Structure 1
């Protein structure tokens, strides 16, 4: 019998394969020499394409990064003061801070007779003040013992020396957290803003500012002695009851940050100036809301945004 014509031949359905048999053939088809549905030549072409594609892509981004980093100065930000994201209005920070388990808390709460509880706050201060130990500063050769209101020599920065004159706000005294009657020491620092220079108050410029009579008197006295170049610091209770409960406050080594520490221009070894606030006799067993402010003509206070100020609570059982 003569062979059928090609057009009369029909496609024969391939045999139906089981699930595992189909998977085996997909992984390696011995008839077509295909691995995962592709021949060796097909795999070589697609891998070569993606290799070239990603090499070009990585090279392009690397070149863009090189160009970008050429525009950066690692010592000086491109945008400064009002042109920068952080602006030109410094805020205040305080230490010790509560544990990281409650990052939103600003409550300093302890029981002076509970040694374990007290040790947490002391260790936090030890860790914070570690940078102020000259032996821990890798740029200790840059530190200079500056005279009050006198800038350091070129290439130097003013040291912040925490010695026994800071009593009781020193490590040896436990920062007064174990005192049976007195209150603790809280350290304040002004946030760093590159090239920010304070505009200091004098007897004429402070009249338009809402400040306490006691601070006005201090500024007048300091100006009379030629010592008013200070970013002043004040702490007080936020509400009437808080003012009554907070008690007397002592500022160590002085009531503010003197001019020799400004401006900050990312100097090697630079130390932010500190003020230790000693609450001498706060009322026990009462939550006290405290607000501290920094005072200079170019510091604007905004309680809602915590500009130029810092808030925390103190409670001693």
Structure 2
């Protein structure tokens, strides 16, 4: 009985044991590796074995696809199409909106060459595109810092400031003239105190300064963003903007701009900046339109 059992096992094993590699010329061995007429195998497998392998992988990947589709379907069903699941402090973005200045520059600085009439064309084109949705809005543009005057470039360039959009964020205004922060500039404090109603003082204020104290700045549209609308998911209203103009730029300088509200956190660190935009303006040699020579 033992001998008969061993013979059967050996027979079954023989079906699965690979034969020694074929001998003979190199091309003959390669041909047999591709198709072996003795075993009727292709690439080392018989049709039966190929059928088992193909069936296994078809079932395996079908199950994976079904699991993936189930997970994605469950995820999509859990999402709200009209708003993100997490907002403000619960989101990765947080509740402190960034301050952005236009125009933007790939090199990190705005280069003005008074000897080259086309040196600022890219900035004017960028501002024209950015300002296009605001052209018909009476809140924006009062003859200055608009397409008609090339946004002041190159002699008195303008910067357009805005807050980055955060869903459900609402500003907490500095609208109590008696308790404004001590670091507010005197001219802004005086401006706020001269306003007569809380509605006029309930604004997001703009404050820019030249870090090198060379250039005088002015706000041709006023010192604040227009009436603020809370950002809602799916809302179509535009980000409010405010303009600041540099009067007669004749030297390279660095402009820092803040938009002021109690819940816009200002961190002046260059590694983790927040609450401000910093713009480097590099003026190269040339002669402004007024004839003043730049050294």
Into which bin does the TM-score normalised by the smaller protein fall?
0.7 to 0.9
Unaligned runs of 5+ in 1: 1-11, 135-158
Give RMSD over aligned pairs: 2.3
Aligned pair partner of 2:148 in 172, 187, 191: 172
Structure 1 partner of 2:237: 270
Q: Contact conserved, 1:26 with 1:35, CA < 8 A, in 2?
A: yes
Give the drift of 1:191. 0.9
* Per-residue CA distance 1:123-176 (angstroms, 9 max, x = gap): 222232344467xxxxxxxxxxxxxxxxxxxxxxxx67545x2x3322232212
Structure 2 partner of 1:211: 184
2:125 matched to 1:123? Answer: yes
SS in structure 2 of the partner of residue 199 of structure 1 = coil
Question: Within 5 A, what are the aligned runs for 1:1-317?
Answer: 16-99=23-106, 102=107, 105=108, 107-132=109-134, 162-163=140-141, 165=142, 167-178=143-154, 182-201=155-174, 202-206=176-180, 208-224=181-197, 226-238=199-211, 242-243=212-213, 245-247=214-216, 249-258=217-226, 260-282=227-249, 284=250, 286-304=251-269, 305-317=272-284
Alpha-carbon distance in 1 for matches of 2:61, 2:49: 19
Per the alignment, do residues 228 and 24 of structure 1 end up closer, same or farther by CA in structure 2, a change over 3 Å counting? same
Q: Contact conserved, 1:80 with 1:195, CA < 8 A, in 2?
A: yes
Aligned residues: 263
SS in structure 2 of the partner of residue 227 of structure 1 = helix
TM-score (norm 2): 0.81
Give the drift of 1:116. 2.9
Q: Contact conserved, 2:110 with 2:280, CA < 8 A, in 1?
A: yes
TM-score (norm 1): 0.76
Alpha-carbon distance in 2 for matches of 1:314, 1:18: 76
SS in structure 2 of the partner of residue 230 of structure 1 = coil
Alpha-carbon distance in 2 for matches of 1:72, 1:160: 38
* Per-residue CA distance 1:29-67 (angstroms, 9 max, x = gap): 122111111111211221111111111111111111111
Give the drift of 1:77. 1.8
Give the drift of 1:27. 1.3
Structure 2 partner of 1:147: none
Alpha-carbon distance in 2 for matches of 1:188, 1:108: 15
Per the alignment, do residues 253 and 14 of structure 1 end up closer, same or farther by CA in structure 2, a change over 3 Å counting? closer
Alpha-carbon distance in 1 for matches of 2:63, 2:53: 15
* Per-residue CA distance 1:71-99 (angstroms, 9 max, x = gap): 11232222221221111111210111113
Give the drift of 1:113. 4.1
Q: Contact conserved, 1:160 with 1:273, CA < 8 A, in 2?
A: no
Give the drift of 1:224. 4.6
Q: Contact conserved, 1:112 with 1:118, CA < 8 A, in 2?
A: no
